[in-house]
Amino acid sequence: MSYSVELWLFDLSNGMAKQLSPAFVGREIEGIWHTSVIVYGKEHFYGSEGICYETPGSTLVGTNTYKRFPMGETAIPPEVFYDYLKQLGDTQFSGDKYKLFEHNCNNFSSEICTFLIGKPIPEFITNLPNEVLQTPFGQMIKPMLESMQPQVSSQHSHNQTSRFQ
């Protein structure tokens, strides 16, 4: 059996990055990207809560996708994938390992797309944090943004979310 794999791309700035980035960063940045992977009828994502999945479109970012990328098909059965997610949630993608710039939702999406279909997500998404941090403005705002990064909490307020931790 074959399962469709789709990458959902969200602009967390709602267009503000595109408008303001030339003045602050010195070049246009199309968006501040958040990604999730849709497979087996669920939306899979990573954040400071760890690895989570929900019904597609019911996450905090909703259905306001900037773009949807059909990534391909996988023959990996759901049971194997969810065992793999459990392993990732216990190791490299636990909530306490989330880092806004270095180890985020986009790294997770790339990891699971590589597992499912043998190829990562587009580099313009995963390279963006490093590109911004290479600018004087990026260096200036990094400490402020990192201090605002949510910490792992013991309870999740959205009951529909399933977590791997």
Annotated catalytic residues are 34, 105
Collect all residues with Cβ–Cβ distance below 8 Å to 138 and sequence separation of at least 6. 25, 132
CA-CA distance, 96 to 107, in Å (whole number)?
15
The first and second tokens of residue 121, run together, are 């997500």
The first and second tokens of residue 133, run together, are 């941090």
The two counts, helices (H) then strands (E), for the chain are 6, 6
Question: Sheet containing 3-11: which strands, arranged edge to edge?
Answer: 67-74, 3-11, 33-39, 42-47, 50-54, 162-164
